[in-house]
Amino acid sequence: MHFSFVVRNYHPQDFTTYVEFSLKYSRADAASGTNSIGALTQRLGRPNYRPSENLFLADANGATIGYIDVVPELGIRRVVLDYLIHPAYSPGPIATELFAHALGRARELGAKMAHMNISSTGLDRAELLSSLGFREVRRYYELKLDLSEINLKVADQSNSTCRRLSLGEEESLAQIQNCCFAGSWGYNPNTTDEIVWWMNYRGSSPDDIILAIDESNLVGYCWTGITYGRGLSADRSNGHIYMLGVAPDYRKRGIGRKLLIEGLLHLRNKGQEIIDIVVDGQNTIAVVLYRSIGFQCSGSTLWYEKIIEQA
């Protein structure tokens, strides 16, 4: 059936329509995480992001039938894309136009590449991305651990101590995070404002972020949290290890294992039993660490890339 549609920039008055559409049609296999009114509101207010310039809506007959989101990560000259199309419509023509607008915005920003993360089971999305000139470049593993089945009393082989983050230390957290992940694939250095945004977005308190200290030096961290509704009923939750990092000069001393166990104990004390973590499949050291604790692979996501040719 022939239909006409237009793609346009998001406007503030679109907020209710955008939220209702996102909550109703977000796919279970999308890799973008859990949607809620609060989360969507937070996304629109993230640092270095302007919804009126970076979010595009597709409209047909006065109703929203799709969108594409362009998140700038210009520290590594990339944008990260996420799109959603009404399931009643054939995605091809709509996606083609949405991606054209998104890549045009990426060129305006000076980005050299566009990335998108999808579930490895999302074959329709993979086919569509391939048809648009994207190629698979990375696989991330989704790991899961049942805390009721393991013993976390592992001997401490490091000389470091652990404590919780304190309010006012967000800049220090940004510095150690950037130190730990400098040069890692897909890692965009964070500012203090972005760290604060991530804490609010994830509903984190300072108590959820564990720091490793060696002779008064901050040398690593474990960022924990609880995710609600991701593949679960609304009244259930999973514990999550968002990030775990150790400064390069302090690796191979058992600090990463110590931080991980401290994080798992923290989540157990908060009543969590099932713990999730996502890890780059090419980060073999991290994969070995998680598997040694008892994490098992429960799925994977794929990153697709398109090199952006400047006009």
The pair phi, psi for residue 305, each rounded to 5°, is -130, 145
pLDDT at 236: 53
CA distance 221 to 199: 14
Pick the range with the lowest mean pLDDT from 20-29, 48-57, 265-274.
20-29
Residue 230 to residues 15, 202, 285, Cα–Cα distance (Å): 23, 13, 27
Which residues, 6 or more positions from 175, have their beta carbon under 8 angstroms from its beta carbon?
Answer: 218
CB 296 within 8 A of CB 146: no
Nearest to residue 83, comparing CAs of 42, 60, 124, 55? 55
119: part of which helix (H) or strand (E)? strand 113-119
pLDDT at 155: 55
The pair phi, psi for residue 264, each rounded to 5°, is -65, -40
Q: Where exactly are the structural domains of the chain? A: 6-140+303-307, 151-293
Please tell me if the domain spanning 6-140+303-307 has the same topology as the one spanning 151-293.
Answer: yes
**Mean pLDDT (the chain, rounded):** 91
Q: CATH 3.40.630.30: does it fit domain 151-293?
A: yes
pLDDT at 34: 52
Tokens of 248: 């390069």
pLDDT at 30: 42
Place 233 in a pLDDT band, splitting at 50, 70 and 90.
very low
Q: What percent of the chain has pLDDT over 90?
A: 82
Q: What is the CA radius of gyration of the chain?
A: 20
Which residues, 6 or more positions from 50, have their beta carbon under 8 angstroms from its beta carbon?
Answer: none
pLDDT 10s digits, 82-131: 999 999 999 999 999 999 999 999 999 999 999 999 999 999 999 999 99
Alpha helix segments (H runs only) across 45-122: 51-54, 91-109
pLDDT at 234: 45
pLDDT 10s digits, 18-45: 999 999 988 533 444 456 788 889 999 9
Length in residues, the chain: 311
pLDDT 10s digits, 148-158: 888 887 556 67
CB 128 within 8 A of CB 302: no
pLDDT at 32: 41
Any idea which architecture 6-140+303-307 has in CATH?
Answer: 3-Layer(aba) Sandwich (3.40)
Tokens of 7: 């793609």
CB 21 within 8 A of CB 84: yes
CA distance 8 to 17: 14
pLDDT at 235: 47
pLDDT at 35: 63
Alpha helix segments (H runs only) across the chain: 15-25, 37-44, 51-54, 91-109, 123-131, 170-181, 192-201, 255-269, 284-293
Q: The pTM is what?
A: 0.92
**Does residue 189 register a pLDDT over 90?**
yes
pLDDT at 188: 97
Q: Fill in the amino acid letter for 198.
A: W
